[in-house]
Amino acid sequence: MALVLCPECGTSISSSAKMCPSCGYPINEKKRSMYDDLNEYDHNAKNTWEDSDFNTPGLVAFIVALVSLIFFPVFLSIFVSVGAFIVALMGIMNYQRKGFAIAAIVLASIDFVFSLFGIIILASF
């Protein structure tokens, strides 16, 4: 009977033990893979759920950045673009669907740069 270290908590345990007596980590290879499969399943289920969840912050940020870029004057646009950028960033971090959020990041960045140049040009007169 050999002693092995639990990969989870580091306690010395018998290699014939089915699980760690300290933390319950499954040592037996078959059980460990089942354990991982369960984790995998949970992860996938979560991803599927998030995937079906529409990226509302991303879409809102996209529309705001687009309207700001086309219609808003530079002084207003520079603040709105920063706001849209932050909202889009939240959309990227919290949702699996990132299309609108990424488009919003691009638009907000363009809007910000344009507004910055607009302000510099206006200020130089």
Binding site for Zn ion (CB under 5 A): 6, 8-9, 11, 20, 22-23, 25
Q: Which residues contact 101 (CB under 8 A, 6 or more apart)?
A: 55, 57, 58, 61, 62, 88, 89, 91, 92, 95
Of 20 and 80, which has the nearer Cβ to Zn ion? 20
Of the pair 24, 99, the CB lying nearest Zn ion is at: 24
Tell me the closest approach of the beta carbon of residue 10 to Zn ion, in angstroms.
7
For 101, other C-beta atoms within 10 Å of its C-beta total 26
* Shortest Å distance, C-beta 43 to Zn ion: 22
Tokens of 74: 């530079």
- Provide the token pair at 15: 């290699």
Q: Nearest approach, Cβ of 26 to Zn ion (angstroms)? A: 10
Cβ distance to Zn ion smaller for residue 20 or 84: 20
